[in-house]
Structure 1
Amino acid sequence: MSFEEFRRQELEGWDKRAVMYEGLTARVTTQAIPALLSGVRARVGLQILDICTGPGFAAGAADAIGATAKGIDFAPSMVEVARQRFPHLEFRQGDALALEEPDGSYDAVICNFGVFHFTDPKLAFGEAYRVLRPGGRYAFSQWSQP
């Protein structure tokens, strides 16, 4: 399978699963959000970009502690679910491999269980670094053994 085919299947699959995400997937993945927010030292006023936001749970948690959060996801239906769940936050469709954000515009970037969906992780990490301000932090979660 080519990388482009993988990306197409990922987009198609996640776009179809947006409504069902709240089941088991959300119960498992939301457990990592406190560690992500701790890893970037989330606090009142911190500007956070949530890459692969899905239904917006990490951005919503950042907002709940007073950070200013924005979420992006490449699946349009995930963005729609996030907007419905957290209507006061900004969510939009976007690509982690080509972020449409200015250089140095965030204090922190988080990515909750999204890295293994990237066809080019090195490029995605570079994009996250590019949008961070000097001294900014990037935290991501990933499946692994204990």
Structure 2
Amino acid sequence: MNNPDQPLKQRLTPLQFAVTQEGATEPPFHNAYWDHHEEGIYVDVVSGKPLFSSRDKFDSGCGWPSFARPLEPEELQYRKDFSHGMVRVEVRSQTADSHLGHVFDDGPPELGGIRYCINSAALRFIPNDRLEAEGYGAYRRLFEED
């Protein structure tokens, strides 16, 4: 992992910095995780805090990763967003105050009806087989057979 003492502009790519620190949005269908299907968890690229599980990811057709629920609800904060002539709810990480994306109430009803539309640039993916090595072993239980 990157050295947390390094300034963010040096630790993050320009796109990661623009998204997480300046509220930018990456292009739909041209980002790392919109069509990603590997099992594992997605963490905040800035703080490393767990945010979402691949088990809660679904294809919404919007071109960004979509999740039905957060892994750790207390790690998310919500703000009204009136930008671009719309009324939306912005999702930010609690620990790092990273802009992640937006949340909508148009998710699949069978998954609870919520859609977390998240920028790939705000996330780092930890594959299931690397959870222990990366310090996220507690989340292995999510991927064990029932």
With structure 2 as the length reference, what TM-score do the two structures score? 0.34
Question: Larger strand proportion, structure 1 or 2?
Answer: 2
With structure 1 as the length reference, what TM-score do the two structures score? 0.34
Question: Larger helix proportion, structure 1 or 2?
Answer: 1
